[in-house]
């Protein structure tokens, strides 16, 4: 006989992990709800999540039990009264139970969507956003679609696409000079991405790019970009101070695209970020792309967006999608940054591992419906 057990934890993710540890992967989630627990010493109530689960599907007769009718008595008297009609009734009850699961539980967490919810949690999507996505999915689906995995996947992709903005690729045209700066934390892949873009604009699009670096802290980083400039065979100029920026750009001569690589010691260094803002003010870029690594956790992504807000980026580049375990944190931060994504990078290879961002591709990658490569 199946019995239901109740699990409590600080987050739904932890509670579901307990269920899985205790009952295994086939556990059926019967109910989830938020509970408030009073804490000692006036610390106020703390939210907890309670999950009721059993180790296999509840029999349809459990509906009769919950209605207060002993199953055997009910079946016997019903059978003698209604005979074959009981079979039909049984089928109807089973159907109702299947449909009823949607409002059986928390209004914002239909049972049929619990697996969807936990998949999102596993992709590191923050709980509040998981709820919004699942609610969107629940609203999109017709009652009979709730049990069709393909319908759920499609609705979920649509939900994620709603959270994602896409920018067009860099708008460089032969004969005009477009100035584009890449900014972001150390090590996210700015220099590599500048090299990928420069190579692509020169080799595939036949334009004339030039590079400027404001890397004043690490000589090695200048050398890294210089090496790329030599291989791609394009000019490179170094700006040592904000006042030197215009000269560096002009030194490149007749180019269609100026790509500005930037660097700092640490994203936590506010003075350096203000200095970066001064470099950018001097360069007057047409586009500023904030580069974020998909490998970073939600917290450090949020911190990066916050710290670089002074520099007023108008687009985002997401790097290292090939190395990221889950892109849920990225999804959360896209909402916070409220900026469109211009490019995705998917590996270390210059110039191959870069692509212009695409809404449906990005949604699929975030959901793990598609892999990089």
Question: Is the C-alpha dihedral spanning 251, 255, 256, 257 positive or negative?
Answer: negative
Nearer to Mg ion, 179 or 263 (CB): 263
Which residues would be at the binding site for Mg ion (CB under 5 A)? Answer: 190-191, 221, 263
Q: Minimum Å distance from CB 348 to ligand GDP?
A: 4
Q: CB 206 → ligand GDP: shortest distance, Å?
A: 25
Beta strands 46-54 and 209-213, pairing class: unpaired
Helix (H, G, I), strand (E, B) or coil at 343: strand
For residues 211 and 236, the answer to whether their CB atoms sit within 8 Å is yes
CB of 129 to ligand GDP, least distance (A): 24
Q: How many CB atoms lie within 10 A of CB 149?
A: 11
Select the residue whose beta carbon is closest to ligand GDP and give its number.
Answer: 189
* Residue 64 or 197 with smaller CB distance to ligand GDP: 197
In the complex, the smallest distance separating the C-beta of residue 291 from Mg ion, rounded to whole angstroms, is 10
The torsion angles phi and psi of 233, rounded to 5 degrees, stand at 65, 60
Pick one of ligand GDP, Mg ion, none as the site partner of residue 322 (Cβ within 5 to 8 A by kind).
ligand GDP
**Which listed option, ligand GDP, Mg ion, none, makes contact with residue 348 (CB within 5 to 8 Å by class)?**
ligand GDP
Interface residues with ligand GDP (CB under 6 A) are 186-192, 319-320, 322-323, 345-348, 353
Q: Which of ligand GDP, Mg ion, none sits in contact with 192, Cβ below 5 to 8 A by type?
A: ligand GDP
Residue 345 touches which of Mg ion, ligand GDP, none (CB < 5 to 8 A by kind)? Answer: ligand GDP
For 82, residues 6+ apart whose C-beta sits below 8 A from its C-beta are: 89
Quote helix, strand, coil % in the chain, to nearest 5.
Answer: 50, 15, 35
Q: How far is the CB of 296 from ligand GDP (least distance, A)?
A: 12
**DSSP secondary structure string for all residues of 211-242:** EEE---S-HHHHHHHHHHHHHHT--EEE--SG
* Cβ nearer to ligand GDP, comparing 13 with 190: 190
- In terms of CB distance, is 159 or 324 closer to ligand GDP? 324
Closest-CA residue to 220 (of 272, 263, 280): 263
Choice between 133 and 248, CB closer to ligand GDP: 248
Q: In terms of CB distance, is 13 or 320 closer to ligand GDP?
A: 320
293 backbone dihedrals φ, ψ, rounded to 5°: -90, 130
**Cβ closer to Mg ion: 64 or 295?**
295
Which lies closer to Mg ion via its Cβ, residue 221 or residue 304? Answer: 221
Distance, in Å, from the CA atom of 218 to the CA atom of 366, rounded to the nearest integer, reads: 34
CB of 222 to ligand GDP, least distance (A): 11
Strands (E), the chain: 5-9, 28-37, 46-54, 178-183, 209-213, 236-238, 257-261, 287-293, 315-319, 341-345, 354-356
27 binds, among ligand GDP, Mg ion, none (CB under 5 to 8 A by kind): none
Choose among Mg ion, ligand GDP, none what residue 186 binds, the Cβ cut-off being 5 to 8 Å by kind: ligand GDP
- Nearest distance in Å: CB 168, ligand GDP: 21
If the CB atoms of residues 138 and 263 are measured against Mg ion, the closer one turns out to be 263
Q: How far is the CB of 297 from ligand GDP (least distance, A)?
A: 17
Residue 298's binding partner among Mg ion, ligand GDP, none (Cβ under 5 to 8 angstroms by kind) is none
d(CA 28, CA 357): 38
C-alpha–C-alpha distance, residues 4 and 289, integer Å: 52
Determine phi and psi for 119, rounding to 5 degrees.
-65, -40
323 binds, among ligand GDP, Mg ion, none (CB under 5 to 8 A by kind): ligand GDP
Among ligand GDP, Mg ion, none, the one that 55 touches (CB under a kind-dependent 5 to 8 A) is none
Evaluate the CA torsion angle 69, 73, 77, 80 in order and state its sign. Answer: positive
CB of 221 to Mg ion, least distance (A): 5
Beta bridge partners, 166, equal 341
């Amino acid at each position: 006989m199946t019995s239901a057990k109740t699990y409590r934890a600080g987050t739904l993710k932890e509670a579901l992990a307990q269920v899985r540890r205790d009952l295994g992967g086939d556990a059926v989630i019967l109910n989830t709800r938020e509970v408030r627990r009073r804490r000692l010493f006036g610390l106020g109530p703390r939210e907890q999540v309670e999950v009721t689960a059993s180790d296999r599907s509840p029999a349809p007769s459990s509906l009769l039990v919950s209605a207060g009718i002993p199953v055997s008595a009910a079946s016997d008297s019903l059978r003698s009264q209604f005979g074959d009609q009981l079979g039909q009734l049984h089928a109807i009850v089973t159907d109702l139970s299947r449909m009823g699961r949607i409002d059986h539980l928390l209004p914002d967490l239909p049972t049929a969507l619990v697996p969807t919810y936990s998949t999102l949690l596993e992709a590191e999507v923050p709980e509040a956003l998981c709820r919004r996505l699942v609610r969107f999915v629940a609203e999109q689906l017709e009652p009979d679609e709730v049990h069709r995995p393909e319908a759920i996947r499609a609705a979920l992709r649509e939900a994620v696409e709603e959270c994602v903005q896409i920018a067009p690729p860099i708008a460089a045209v032969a004969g005009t000079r477009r100035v584009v700066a890449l900014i972001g934390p150390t090590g996210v892949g700015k220099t590599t991405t500048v090299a990928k873009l420069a190579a692509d604009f020169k080799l595939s699009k036949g334009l004339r790019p030039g590079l400027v670096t404001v890397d004043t802290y690490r000589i090695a980083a200048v050398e890294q970009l210089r090496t790329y400039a030599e291989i791609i065979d394009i000019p490179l100029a170094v700006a040592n101070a904000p006042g030197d920026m215009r000269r560096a750009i002009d030194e490149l001569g007749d180019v269609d695209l100026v790509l500005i690589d930037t660097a700092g010691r640490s994203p936590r260094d506010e003075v350096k970020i203000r200095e970066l803002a001064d470099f950018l003010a001097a360069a007057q870029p047409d586009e500023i792309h904030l580069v974020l690594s998909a490998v970073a956790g939600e917290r450090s992504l949020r911190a990066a967006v916050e710290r670089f807000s002074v520099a007023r980026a108008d687009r985002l580049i997401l790097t290292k999608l090939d190395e990221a375990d889950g892109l849920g944190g990225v999804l959360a931060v896209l909402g916070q940054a409220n900026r469109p994504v211009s490019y995705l990078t998917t590996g270390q290879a210059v110039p191959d591992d870069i692509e212009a961002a695409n809404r449906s591709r990005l949604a699929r990658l975030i959901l793990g419906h598609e892999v990089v490569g």
